[in-house]
């Protein structure tokens, strides 16, 4: 397991007053994400219940759990796709209550999707340009009349898009239609597009799904690289344990909508509740 740990920084994790641990370096900063007793009910079914999580300013955190545990629902709550029925979400200390998806995005939350949601009919570069939508400003008429501001802003946008595509070495694909890219490249493009919005917190929903071990290894390196370069926090949902254990500093385990364990990778691996959630309870006879 020694080489797998290489992307994980060996920071000491410090407990926070609100049930969570964050990396020591982030202790004096406002946590990028804080959820308090977050919950949502769908017709009496508590899909997520009493979800408390704090993520430090530059932390790479993991959210794991068996299928149907409510992980993606948490992402949908954090990005305001769903309005929570209880509790609060704070991003950089600001309450997201009553905000729209767009407003949450402007506060600095960006995400990728479990079932890829690219703008299929647009090119790779245009996809990234949509991510940059709120970083350039000119109105409709400037665009139609092609005023000087249009050319200046478009040039900036193009250069920035290429810079971002460079993270995954994807500049050569810039003119391809995004829907025709191979699966792995589509997943990477989603990450680039999310990064283009200049987020404070990046949510990755199963980024390694459908990738081979080599690609996963590369992705792990890139996740660490992205954090170091952009100094942002990353929260990822993943079933590939080598990735989660390899790159995540704090891990949160969800089962049936409730947090059953929180801690570092080593603590989680040794936690009996987690093992039980994944492998089931031992029969009395065997014990």
Partner 1 sequence: MTKAKRKRLIYNLVTYALVIAAYIILQNMIGAKTISRSLKGLLVPICAWIIMAVSLNLVIGFSGELSLGHAGFMSIGAYTGAIISGWLLAAFDMQDPTLRLVLAIAGGGIVAGIFGVLIGIPVLRLRGDYLAIVTLAFGEIIRNLVNVLYVGTADGQLHFAFLNKKLPADVTMLVDGAKGAVKIKPISTFTVGFVLVMITLIVVLNLVNSRAGRAIQATRDNRIAAESMGVSVTKYKMMAFVTAAVLAGMAGALYGLNSSTVVPTQFTFNQSINVLVFVVLGGLGNVLGSVISATFLTVLPEVLREFADYRMLVYAVVLILVMIFTNNPLIRSVFGRAVAPVKGLFRGKKNSVSGGEA
Contact residues for partner 1, defined by CB under 8 A: 79, 81, 100-102, 105-106, 110-111, 113, 117-123, 125-126, 129-131, 133-134, 136, 138-140, 142-146, 150, 153-154, 157, 174-175, 193-194, 196-197
d(CA 181, CA 189): 9
**Bridge partners (DSSP) listed for residue 89:** 35
Q: How far is the CB of 269 from partner 1 (least distance, A)?
A: 33
Which one, 162 or 241, has the nearer CB to partner 1? 162
Label each residue of the chain as H, E or C: CCHHHHHCCCCCEEECCCCCEEEHHHCCCCCCEEEEEEEEEECCEEEEEEEEEEECCCCEEEEECCCCCCHHHHHHHHCCCCCCCEEEEEECCEECCCCCHHHHHHHCEEECCCCCCCCCCCEHHHHHHHHCHHHCCCCHHHHHHCCHHHHHHHHHHHHHHHHHHHCCCCHHHCCCEHHHCCHHHHHHHHHHHHHHCCCCEEEEECCCCCCCHHHHHHHHHHHHHHHHHHCCEEEEECCCHHHHHHHCCEEEEEECCEEEEEECHHHHHHCHHHHHHHHCCCCCCCC
Closest separation between CB of residue 75 and partner 1, Å?
Answer: 10
Residue closer to partner 1 by CB (options 119, 256) is 119
43 phi and psi angles, rounded to 5 deg = 50, 50
Report, in Å, the least distance between residue 47 CB and partner 1: 18
Q: At closest approach, how far in Å is the CB of 255 from partner 1? A: 26
Minimum CB distance to partner 1, residue 56 (Å): 23
| Least separation in angstroms between CB 104 and partner 1 | 8
Pull the structure tokens for residue 70: 């409510």
User: CA 181 to CA 48: how far, in whole Å?
Assistant: 34
Between 2 and 145, name the residue whose CB sits nearer to partner 1: 145
Return the number of the residue (105 or 264) whose C-beta is nearest partner 1: 105
Minimum separation from the CB atom of position 202 to partner 1 (A): 12
**Looking at beta carbons only, is 16 or 174 nearer to partner 1?**
174
Residue closer to partner 1 by CB (options 191, 244) is 191
Q: What is the edge-to-edge ordering of all strands in the sheet holding 94-95?
A: 45-55, 33-42, 86-91, 94-95
Nearer to partner 1, 58 or 157 (CB): 157
Residue 178: CB minimum distance to partner 1, A? 9
Q: Which CB atom, from 101 or from 270, has the smaller least distance to partner 1?
A: 101
């Amino acid at each position: 397991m020694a080489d797998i740990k290489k992307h994980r920084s060996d920071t000491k994790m410090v407990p926070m007053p609100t049930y969570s641990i964050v990396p020591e370096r982030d202790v004096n900063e406002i946590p990028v994400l804080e959820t308090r007793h977050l919950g949502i009910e769908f017709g009496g079914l508590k899909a997520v219940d009493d979800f408390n999580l704090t993520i430090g300013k530059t932390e790479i955190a993991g959210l794991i759990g068996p299928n149907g545990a409510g992980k993606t629902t948490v992402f949908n709550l954090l990005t305001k796709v769903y309005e929570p029925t209880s509790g609060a979400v704070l991003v950089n200390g600001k309450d997201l209550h009553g905000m729209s998806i767009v407003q949450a995005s402007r506060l600095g939350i960006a995400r990728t999707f479990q079932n890829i949601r690219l703008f299929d009919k647009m090119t790779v570069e245009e996809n990234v340009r949509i991510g940059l939508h709120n970083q350039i400003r000119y109105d409709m008429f400037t665009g139609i009349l092609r005023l000087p501001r249009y050319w200046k802003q478009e040039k900036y946008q193009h250069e920035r898009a290429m810079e971002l595509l460079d993270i995954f070495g994807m500049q050569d694909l810039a003119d391809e239609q995004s829907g025709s890219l191979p699966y792995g490249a589509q997943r990477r493009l989603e990450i680039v597009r999310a990064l283009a919005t200049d987020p404070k917190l990046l949510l990755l929903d199963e980024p390694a799904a459908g990738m081979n071990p080599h690609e996963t290894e590369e992705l792990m390196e890139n996740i660490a690289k992205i954090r170091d370069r952009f100094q942002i926090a990353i929260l990822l949902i993943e079933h590939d344990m080598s990735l989660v254990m390899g790159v995540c500093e704090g891990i949160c385990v969800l089962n049936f909508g409730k947090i059953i364990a929180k801690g570092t990778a080593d603590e989680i691996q040794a936690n009996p509740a987690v093992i039980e959630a994944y492998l089931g309870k031992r029969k009395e006879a065997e014990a």
